[in-house]
Amino acid sequence: MRCPFCRHPDSRVVDSREAEEGAAIRRRRSCPACGRRFTTMEEASLRVRKRSGATEPFSRAKVIVGVRKACQGRPVRSDDLALLAERVEETVRSSGSAEVAAEDVGRAILGPLRELDEVAYLRFASVYLAFESLGDFEAAIAALRAESAGGGEPPVAGKPTAMPAATGASAVVVPVTTGPRAAAGP
Coil vs helix vs strand at 92: helix
- Binding mask 35-74 toward Zn ion (x if CB under 5 A, else -) reads ----------------------------------------
Closest approach, Cβ 26 to Zn ion, in A, equals 19
Strand 24-30, strand 12-19: pairing? antiparallel
Q: Is 156 in the site for Zn ion (CB under 5 A)?
A: no
> Which residue lies nearer to Zn ion by CB, 10 or 103?
10
Cβ neighbours of residue 33 closer than 8 Å, sequence gap 6 or more: 3, 6, 8
Closest approach, Cβ 10 to Zn ion, in A, equals 9
Chain residues 134-153 in contact with Zn ion, contact rule CB under 5 A: none
> Which residue lies nearer to Zn ion by CB, 31 or 67?
31
Closest approach, Cβ 15 to Zn ion, in A, equals 17
Closest approach, Cβ 33 to Zn ion, in A, equals 5
Chain residues 6-35 in contact with Zn ion, contact rule CB under 5 A: 6, 8, 31, 33-34
Closest approach, Cβ 5 to Zn ion, in A, equals 5
Composition of the chain by helix, strand, coil, percent to 5:
40, 15, 40
Helix (H), strand (E), coil (C) string for 24-86: EEEEEEECCCCCCEEEEEEECCCEEECCCCCEEECCHHHHHHHHHHHCCCCCCCHHHHHHHHH
